[in-house]
Structure 1
Amino acid sequence: MYNILFFGDSLTAGYGLKNAKTESLPGLIQQKINAENLPYHIINGGLSGDTSGGGLFRLEYWIDRPVHIFVLELGINDIIRGVSPQTTYKNLQAIIDKVKFKYPDVKLALMGMEIPIFIPSPFAVEFKSIFRKLADANQMAFVPFYLAGVAGKAHLNLPDMLHPSAEGYRIMADNVWPVLHGLL
C-alpha cells in the first residue's frame, strides 16, 4: 500500500462538511482510487486556517510515515493575512525541499490558488504566478486553480462563499483526479 499525503488548509481538511472523511477532496479521491482497486491510501493533512509558514512548522509530523505522493495545497490564507507572495513562495519551496529530502523518489503535485475577486489585492497576479513557478521549478504535477468551476458559485459553496460544499468538492475532485491519476 502506498501513501498519498494531502497537505493543506481548510480546503483540504473539508471545513464545514457534514462528513469531511468522505466529502472532502481527499475523501473523494480515495473513493476514486478504491473504485479502480489501486493500492493507495489517502492521508488528509489539512488544517483549517493554516498558512504556508504554519505548514512548514507542522510538516515533520505528517512526513514521519512513508509518503509516496505529496499533494500540496497552501497559500490562500497567507494572502488573507497579508503575507507577501515572496514569503509564501519561500515557505512552499521549503516544504517541497523537506519532503524531497526525506523521500527523494516522492511524486509531487501542487494545487494552484488565485485570490478571489472580492478580496482586493495588489499582489493578485504575483500570487497566482508563484504556483506555476513552483510547479515548473520542482517538476510537479500541477492544477492551476484548485477551485476551478467552484469559486464564486453560491450553489457550490457554503454560505461563507469561501469553502466548497459537498457538491463543490465533487467538481473539484473531477478536476484534480486526472492530474493525480497520472502520478499513480
Structure 2
Amino acid sequence: MAGAGPPVPTCLLLGAAGGGKSLLARRLRHIRRGRGGAGGTGLSAEEGAAELGKPPATLPTVGTNLTDLRLPRKVTVRELGGCMGPIWPSYYGECSAVLFVVDAANPTQLSSSCVQLLSVLSAAQLTSVPVLVLFNKIDLPCYMSLVEMKSLFRMQDIVSCATQPVTMLETSARDGTGLADVLQWLRATLGDPR
C-alpha cells in the first residue's frame, strides 16, 4: 500500500498484578501530552513529570489497555493485565520492546515477578527484543533499593544469560520519579523510524 509508512511499533507493558502498570501508562501519556512532550507547552519530560499532580485512580487491568505515545514517532504501549500472564506469549509476535514492571515495595510478590521476568526473557519470539525492567513504587517507605532488587533477582546473572539487551530503572509512577528516563529509553529504542 503506497504511502502507508512504517508500521507503528508496539511496546508490551508486563508485570504482576498491582505493580503499577496502569498508572505508569497514564503518567507517560500525560507527560507526552500537553505538558511534557510534543505538541504541548514545550516543557521537558522532567518538567512534565514534576507537574503530574495527584495520581488518578486506577483499577486492575483485566484484558489489555492501549496507550499511544509520540516519541516523536508514534509508539503503542499495550498493557497486559497481570492475571493474563499465561496468555502473554500470544502478544509477543507483534512486540518491538518490553517494559516489565516490578513492585519494589511488595516483597511477597518478588519470586513470582522473577519467574515471570525469566519467562519473558527466555521466550523465543523475544530473543532480540529490548527489555526495560522497572522497579516501581520507590516512593513508598518500604521499597527495596535498586541494589537490593538486583541482588534478590540476581540481575547480573539474568543479564549475562539474556540474549536481548536488558536495562533497569527505579521509578515511581505516583510521583513521576524516573519517568523521563523511561521515555528516553523508549525514544532511543523505538522512537526513530530510521
What TM-score comes out, normalization by structure 1 length? 0.54
State the alpha-carbon separation in 2 of the partners of residues 181 and 58 from structure 1: 27
Mapped to 1, the partners of 2:76 and 2:28 lie a distance apart of 19
How far, CA to CA, are the matches of 1:177 and 1:16 in structure 2? Answer: 12
Q: Are residues 171 and 112 of structure 1, via their aligned partners in 2, closer, same or farther at CA, if it must alter by over 3 Å?
A: closer
Q: Aligned residue for 1:38? A: none
Query: Where does the alignment leave 5 or more consecutive residues of structure 1 unmatched?
Result: 35-41, 152-156
Asked if the contact 2:97–2:131 (Cα under 8 Å) also holds between the matched residues in 1, the reply is: yes
Q: From the superposition, tell whether residues 46 and 82 of structure 1 become closer, same or farther in structure 2 (CA, over 3 Å).
A: same
CA 1:122–1:106: 2 relative to 1, 3 Å: closer
Q: Does 1:92 align with 2:117?
A: yes
Alpha-carbon distance, 1:93 to partner: 0.9
Separation in structure 1 between the aligned mates of residue 32 and residue 101 of structure 2, nearest angstrom: 18
Aligned pairs, how many?
151
Alignment of 1:110-125 (within 5 A): 110-113=132-135, 116=138, 118-120=140-142, 125=147
Is the 1:68–1:107 Cα contact (8 Å) retained in structure 2?
yes
Q: 1:105 to 1:174 in 2, by over 3 A?
A: closer
1:83 and 2:108 are equivalent in the alignment: yes
Q: RCO (CA 8 Å, sep 6+): is it higher in 1 or 2?
A: 2
2:176 corresponds to 1:164 = yes
Paired residue for 1:13? Answer: 25
Report the 3-state secondary structure (helix = DSSP H, G, I; strand = E; otherwise coil) of the residue aligned with 1:140: coil
Does the CA contact (< 8 Å) of 1:69 and 1:106 recur in 2? no
For residues 41-62 of structure 1, what are the alpha-carbon distances to aligned partners after superposition, in whole Å with 9 as ceiling and x for unaligned? x332225xx55xx352341453
**RMSD (Å), alpha carbons:** 4.4
Which residue of structure 1 lines up, in the alignment, with residue 55 of structure 2?
A: none
Q: 1:81 to 1:4 in 2, by over 3 A?
A: same
Using a 3 Å threshold, how does the CA distance of structure 1 residues 2 and 19 change in structure 2: closer, same or farther? closer
Compare the two structures and name the one with the higher strand fraction: 2
2:161 equivalent to 1:137: yes
Whose Rg is larger?
2
**In 1, are the aligned partners of 2:71 and 2:187 still within 8 Å (CA)?**
no
Superposition deviation, residue 136 in structure 1: 3.2
Q: CA deviation at 1:173?
A: 1.2
Distance, in Å, in 2 between the alignment partners of 1:171 and 1:104 is 22
Query: What is the match of residue 109 of structure 1?
Result: 131
Q: Give aligned-pair identity as a percent.
A: 10
Using structure 2 for the length normalisation, give the TM-score.
0.52
Structure 2 residue ranges without an equivalent (≥5): 1-6, 15-20, 38-44, 46-66
Higher helix share: 1
